[in-house]
Structure 1
């Protein structure tokens, strides 16, 4: 049975870039890895993808494949296979366990950036509108002040691991009928650190880092909204081997307000009006975020009418000025009337020519005729 074209296996064109080849392989490896996918053909597809990447992921092998295809011009000349190079088992191990891939290995003694941290805090509605300065307490790991991060007792220093010579990895070479197989694994002597600490620091016990409670001063800008994320550079976990600290991301949650609602930079509220105020017009006081202002209600205002108070909304976080406040009026129907009030409303109804009982009866008769054809 002839082999499929390697580009076809990975779903790529022949002018695919190295990054595209690597990305396609990793996608298929994750999809068909036997530990993840239990389908019958998953193992076959996984091996097929790996074989394709073993060739296309190596510049020399790729050039040879592009020229000769599956035919090996060196076949029968004693060529061996080295699975420790680009795209081999070492690369696959790195892919699933956080390595660099492509046959490259991370230097265990190189500076490493600290992890980022996330902190969620809840603030009041008006604190989000107008901004606030405050201090928060963040638990995080920091570089040990006693050993300055190397984990060794003061006056001593870590020694290069004699097993892996500081690389953090061991190589086990096996000669088989199919060629030479190089298996790379984490050094068992130094656990991949590349160094050994014979006398550990009494403060961090050799870790090079300690847990601390750090006070961070925050300046929450005016206009911040619910779900916003503030980045505080360099206030995350401490780095190692002299690497920089990570960043702190503060997620803002805003409590709802009992009267105002917010939509982007605009504020919304509802104000009740009596029937008389709506019919005759009035001037009422409206609370805003900062003060009370007068609002003129024109005669004949209907319920659900909106009025806009320009510039009475939220300060714009990115830009100048403020949003607006939108006031929705709701006409409230009285629920308790005395006899005199009821009579006045009846008289108002008669004067307005509103439907009487007889008029309503006439209306329903017309509806009945329209439906039944009477």
Structure 2
């Protein structure tokens, strides 16, 4: 049979992208694969499709064909038609997981080819792929730890056939192409090379159409929705990842361990507490009299409310620390489950009264040795230390002032002038 233009075989143009060529190749390969198409001419068509894709998927070969109209074919694999893009062949034909034979999910399809492609023997054990998932925690769940149900779509062994891919009473048969070795040899430039069998994908066995499990269509694997309960350790931070061993995808070879489930944690904020690693920060209000005289205030912690001692003379924005009152420390130097904890930092805000009664003003004046000197338009007073200002007037003089005098004094007071 005369060789056809590879672009015509795949059904693409010279301007098609690599992804467009790959997509067209997948569709044709599924249509003409001998495992699913029993037409006598399907095998020959399948070989032609693979050879065309071998040229178009290789940048050098494609460029050579575009320039000269042909490609040096001396190194072609031979009658079995190994795939240039996926030399490992098609291990499970083109049936989907979970009975979705018409549409093989692109991600799983690629995953199988990546696992069984290349020069490795697919019959060897291979670890399943890890699955990425996420969960959202409240602030306190992140501090205390929590159990979360993680729902994801993953690959599992088919339960009805126990992962064998065959119906009850049936068995896999030795692949007639590779005689059970799982590999085929080819000669290139005087060298002998081995690649996975294109018929069985390197498994060394095949399943007759009538013997295939109807649940997985012979794949031995299904893609299904799963739910796993995960223990989130105490002290996790936003963006951390928790790995659960063996809860990921099943091995595509059916002989290796499952991959892992990797859960990314998203932690919500809190109206009172703020995190900085294992340390917790809050702001607390201190009444003026406690800031001056000392005392204690009640503050929240992640373990509940506690009393915080306030020493006399506490200044605004002073910080106090409560040791070992923060979050459990899960940093790399401590590891999960460590008893080490961060601290809680408290920033103190002194509460200044917005208004005072006459009695409160009098007591403040006596306490600080101040005398009223002027009255402002809003009824408040300016004060001056009586022991440092020989011009300070008594409160009796001020109380007898008229509104007009008060206004006059207010205006002068705003400019820092004291009355006589």
Deviation digits for residues 53-112 of structure 1 (CA, Å, limit 9, x no counterpart): xxxxxxxxxxxxxxxxxxxxxxxxxxxx9999xxxxx99988xx85899xx831122222
Cross-structure match for 1:351: 385
Cross-structure match for 2:144: 130
Deviation digits for residues 110-141 of structure 1 (CA, Å, limit 9, x no counterpart): 22221111221111111121222344334321
In the alignment, is residue 111 of structure 1 matched against residue 116 of structure 2?
no
Alignment of 1:201-280 (within 5 A): 201-239=213-251, 240-280=253-293
In the alignment, is residue 162 of structure 1 matched against residue 162 of structure 2?
no
Alignment of 1:1-374 (within 5 A): 35=59, 105-166=119-180, 168=182, 170-173=184-187, 179-180=189-190, 187-191=197-201, 193-198=203-208, 199-239=211-251, 240-317=253-330, 318=334, 319-333=338-352, 336-337=354-355, 347=372, 349-351=383-385
Q: 1:183 to 1:360 in 2, by over 3 A?
A: farther
Q: TM-score, normalised to structure 2's length?
A: 0.53
Q: TM-score, normalised to structure 1's length?
A: 0.59
Q: 2-side partners of 1:91 and 1:167: how far apart?
A: 21
Q: 1-side partners of 2:313 and 2:124: how far apart?
A: 76
List runs of 5+ in structure 1 lacking aligned partners: 1-33, 37-80, 85-89, 363-374
Instruction: State how many pairs are aligned.
Output: 275
- Give the secondary-structure state (helix, strand or coil) at the position aligned to 1:350: strand
Q: 1:320 to 1:173 in 2, by over 3 A?
A: closer
List runs of 5+ in structure 2 lacking aligned partners: 1-57, 61-73, 78-82, 88-112, 366-370, 373-381, 390-410
Q: 1:243 to 1:192 in 2, by over 3 A?
A: same
Larger radius of gyration: 2
CA contact (8 A) 2:243 2:263 kept: yes
Q: 2-side partners of 1:91 and 1:188: how far apart?
A: 11
**1:245 shift after superposition:** 1.1
Deviation digits for residues 23-47 of structure 1 (CA, Å, limit 9, x no counterpart): xxxxxxxxxxx959xxxxxxxxxxx
Q: 1:35 to 1:332 in 2, by over 3 A?
A: farther
